[in-house]
Chain A
Amino acid sequence: MSESGEGTGDSEGISDGERISDGEGIREKERIDRSRRDRVSDTVRNLFVIATRELRTIVRTPAILALAAAFVASVGGVAWAGTGGRGGFVPLTLDLLTFVEVLVPLLAVAFGYRSILGDRGTGELDVLRTFDVSRVSYVGGVYLGRALALVSLVVGTLLAVGLLVPTLTADIPTFLAVNEAADSGVRYVRFVALAAVFTLVVLAAVVGISATTRSVRTAFALAAALALALVLGIDTALVAGIASGLVPGDGIGVLLALSPNSAFRGLVLSTAIGAVGGAEVAAGEPLLNGVGLLAWWLVSLSVAVRRVWPVVESIEE
Chain B
Amino acid sequence: MAILSPTGTQWLTVLLSVALVGASLSFVVTPESGESLRPVDFADTVNMGGTGVDARRADEEGFVLPQVEVFYSGYRYVVGYVGIETAVSELGDASAQRQFGDPLAVYVSDFSTISPTVTDAGFVVPERGRSVGWTPAETAFYVVGSDATIPSGAVTVAFSERDDAAAFADAHGGDVVDWETLQSRIDDPLPATLEGFEQSVGERHAGADESVAVAEAREDRPVSVVVGADADSVSDRATVPIPADATSEPTVSDAVDAAPPNTTVYLPPGTYDVDGVVLNRSITLAGAGVGAESGAESGPESGAETVLRGDGNRSVVYVRADGASVTDLRVTGVGDVGSRGRELRNESGDWDTTVQLAYGYGDAGVVLDGAAGASVSNVEIDTHASGAIVRESPGSVIRNVTVRGADTASDGFMGVVLIGAPSVVQESTFLDGRDGVYTHRADGSVVRDNRAEPGRYGVHEMYTSGTLVANNTVRDAEAGVIVMTRPTDNLVVGNDVRRSTYGVVPAGSDSYYARNVVVDNEYGLQVSGDRNAFVDNVVLGNGVGARANDILPSNWVLGNDFLRNERAVESEIGPLRTWSHGGVGNHWGALPIADGDRDGVYDRPYRPTGTVDSRLGTASGATVLARSPSVATLRRVQGTVSGLRLSGVVDTDARTRPFHPEIIEDALAADSSDEMVESESVDETATTAGFGGATS
- B357 close to chain A: CB less than 8 A: no
B46: chain A residues within 8 A (beta carbon): 176
A181 CA to B644 CA, complexed, in Å: 12
CB-based nearest B residue for A149: B12
- B192 close to chain A: CB less than 8 A: no
B6: chain A residues within 8 A (beta carbon): 18, 45, 48-49, 51-52
- B696 close to chain A: CB less than 8 A: no
| CB–CB A277/B573 < 8 A | no
Among B4, B32, B648, which residue has its beta carbon within 8 angstroms of that of A181?
B32
A192: chain B residues within 8 A (beta carbon): 23
B9: chain A residues within 8 A (beta carbon): 48, 51-52, 55, 144-145, 148
A202 CA to B16 CA, complexed, in Å: 18
Count chain A CB atoms within 10 A of each CB in B20, B97, B105, B647 and give the residue with the most: B20
Shortest beta-carbon distance, B3 to chain A, in Å?
Answer: 9
Among A49, A193, A278, which residue has its beta carbon within 8 angstroms of that of B23?
A193
| CB–CB A277/B78 < 8 A | no
Shortest beta-carbon distance, A90 to chain B, in Å?
Answer: 5
Shortest beta-carbon distance, B371 to chain A, in Å?
Answer: 44
Interface string of A43-80 (1 = CB under 8 A from B): 00100110110011001000000000000000000100
A97 CA to B24 CA, complexed, in Å: 18
| CB–CB A189/B74 < 8 A | no
- A3 close to chain B: CB less than 8 A: no
Interface string of A176-208 (1 = CB under 8 A from B): 111111111011011011001000000000000
| CB–CB B640/A278 < 8 A | yes
| CB–CB A271/B27 < 8 A | yes
| CB–CB B13/A144 < 8 A | yes
Contacts A182-B76, A196-B20 hold; do A277 and B641 have CB atoms under 8 A apart? yes
A97 CA to B640 CA, complexed, in Å: 13
A218 CA to B600 CA, complexed, in Å: 52
| CB–CB A91/B633 < 8 A | no
Chain B: interface residue count, which band?
35 or more
* Interface 9-mer from A81-89, A247-255, A305-313: A81-89
B31: chain A residues within 8 A (beta carbon): 181, 184, 186-187, 274
Among A145, A176, A276, which residue has its beta carbon within 8 angstroms of that of B101?
A276
Count chain B CB atoms within 10 A of each CB in A56, A189, A192 and give the residue with the most: A189
- B248 close to chain A: CB less than 8 A: no
| CB–CB A94/B4 < 8 A | no
| CB–CB A52/B634 < 8 A | no
| CB–CB B102/A98 < 8 A | no
| CB–CB B76/A83 < 8 A | no
| CB–CB A179/B37 < 8 A | yes
- A163 close to chain B: CB less than 8 A: no
B45: chain A residues within 8 A (beta carbon): 176-177
| CB–CB A181/B638 < 8 A | no
Among B8, B29, B37, B74, which residue has its beta carbon within 8 angstroms of that of A186?
B29
- B353 close to chain A: CB less than 8 A: no
CB-based nearest A residue for B552: A176
Shortest beta-carbon distance, B148 to chain A, in Å?
Answer: 27
Interface string of B82-118 (1 = CB under 8 A from A): 0000000000000001000110110000000000000
Shortest beta-carbon distance, A198 to chain B, in Å?
Answer: 12
| CB–CB B104/A275 < 8 A | yes
- A155 close to chain B: CB less than 8 A: yes
Count chain B CB atoms within 10 A of each CB in A95, A151, A181, A193 and give the residue with the most: A181
| CB–CB B647/A181 < 8 A | no
CB-based nearest B residue for A83: B645
- A131 close to chain B: CB less than 8 A: no
- A280 close to chain B: CB less than 8 A: yes
| CB–CB A172/B76 < 8 A | yes
A49 CA to B10 CA, complexed, in Å: 9
Among B5, B641, B646, which residue has its beta carbon within 8 angstroms of that of A278?
B641
A94: chain B residues within 8 A (beta carbon): 637, 640-641
- A215 close to chain B: CB less than 8 A: no
Contacts A52-B6, A176-B45 hold; do A170 and B573 have CB atoms under 8 A apart? yes
- B534 close to chain A: CB less than 8 A: no
Among A95, A148, A177, A196, which residue has its beta carbon within 8 angstroms of that of B12?
A148
Shortest beta-carbon distance, A79 to chain B, in Å?
Answer: 11
- B297 close to chain A: CB less than 8 A: no
- B296 close to chain A: CB less than 8 A: no
| CB–CB A179/B647 < 8 A | no
- B34 close to chain A: CB less than 8 A: yes
A148 CA to B20 CA, complexed, in Å: 12
CB-based nearest A residue for B73: A276
A169: chain B residues within 8 A (beta carbon): 646
- A246 close to chain B: CB less than 8 A: no
A95 CA to B20 CA, complexed, in Å: 22
| CB–CB A181/B41 < 8 A | no
| CB–CB A95/B634 < 8 A | yes
A151: chain B residues within 8 A (beta carbon): 16, 20
CB-based nearest B residue for A272: B26
- B77 close to chain A: CB less than 8 A: yes
B1: chain A residues within 8 A (beta carbon): 56
| CB–CB A86/B645 < 8 A | yes
Count chain B CB atoms within 10 A of each CB in A48, A82, A179 and give the residue with the most: A179
Contacts A49-B6, A148-B12 hold; do A177 and B78 have CB atoms under 8 A apart? yes
Interface string of B203-247 (1 = CB under 8 A from A): 000000000000000000000000000000000000000000000
B32: chain A residues within 8 A (beta carbon): 180-181, 184
Contacts A48-B6, A83-B638, A179-B76 hold; do A275 and B645 have CB atoms under 8 A apart? no
A186 CA to B634 CA, complexed, in Å: 23
- B36 close to chain A: CB less than 8 A: yes
Among A84, A99, A189, which residue has its beta carbon within 8 angstroms of that of B645?
A84
- B344 close to chain A: CB less than 8 A: no
A98 CA to B629 CA, complexed, in Å: 11
Among B27, B633, B638, which residue has its beta carbon within 8 angstroms of that of A193?
B27
Q: Which 7 A-B pairs have the closest CB atoms?
A: A87-B645, A177-B40, A177-B44, A193-B23, A189-B26, A83-B645, A180-B32
Apart from A56-B4, A177-B77, what are 6 other A-B pairs with CB-CB below 8 Å?
Answer: A81-B611, A145-B9, A179-B72, A184-B31, A186-B31, A278-B640
A-B contact pairs, 23 of them (CB 8 A): A49-B6, A51-B6, A52-B5, A52-B8, A83-B647, A87-B644, A87-B645, A87-B646, A90-B641, A98-B637, A176-B44, A177-B44, A177-B78, A179-B76, A181-B33, A181-B36, A182-B72, A182-B73, A182-B101, A182-B644, A184-B31, A190-B26, A278-B74
User: Chain B interface (Cβ within 8 Å of chain A)?
Assistant: 1, 4-6, 8-10, 12-13, 16, 19-20, 23-24, 26-27, 29, 31-34, 36-37, 40-41, 44-46, 71-78, 97, 101-102, 104-105, 573, 611, 633-634, 637-638, 640-641, 643-648
